[in-house]
Amino acid sequence: MSEQPRGGESNWVDVGSTAEVTKRRKIVVDVGDEQIFVLAHDGEFYALQNICIHRQREISKGVVLNGRVVCPGHQWAFDLRTGWESIKQECQPTYRVRVEDDVVQVDAASRAVLVTPPATADAGARETPVVDRSFPA
């Protein structure tokens, strides 16, 4: 899936060292009016909008199971990589994450929401999901 930040610009924000983020597992970063939830899971780092799209609960207070974060407000389970909730067919916004010089960073300008379901391993060669980046944060 090819994703580009809105307007072609990036806003990389330091979250913490890889050791710190891995140890804490969950960190919420405030960037302007936005809360971004960054988490470490199975050796990877992920970032999602912290406030749930459904009941405005904090996703960071949920549990992580089988590659999904489960919202504590209503148990919707969002895929860590894509933000997609397969039962309700809705998407929690996600952000790009990288590691530079052992520091985990999140691109606050890369907010993305899938508008079509992501391909699954058993779906074969499906089209790449459509990402909507045209809306304000």
CA distance 47 to 45: 7
11-38 pLDDT, tens digit per residue, is 999 999 999 999 999 999 999 889 999 9
Q: Please indicate, yes or no, if residue 120 is contained in any of the structural domains.
A: yes
Q: For the beta carbon of residue 33, count every other beta carbon within 10 angstroms.
A: 6
Domain for residue 40, yes or no? yes
3 inside domain: no
CATH classification of the domain holding 98: 2.102.10.10
When pLDDT is averaged across residues 53-62 and rounded to a whole number, the result is 90
The pTM assigned to this predicted structure is 0.81
The domain in which residue 107 lies consists of: 9-131
User: What single string gives the DSSP state of each residue in 3-59?
Assistant: ---GGG---EEEEEEHHHHHHH-EEEEEETTEEEEEEEETTEEEEEESB-TTT--BG
Query: Is there a contact between 28 and 119 (Cβ–Cβ < 8 Å)?
Result: no
Would you say residue 4 lies in a domain?
Answer: no
Does residue 67 surpass a pLDDT of 70?
yes
On whether residue 109 sits in a domain, the answer given is yes
Overall domain count for the chain: 1
Q: What is the pLDDT of residues 31-57, one digit of tens each?
A: 988 999 999 999 999 999 999 998 788
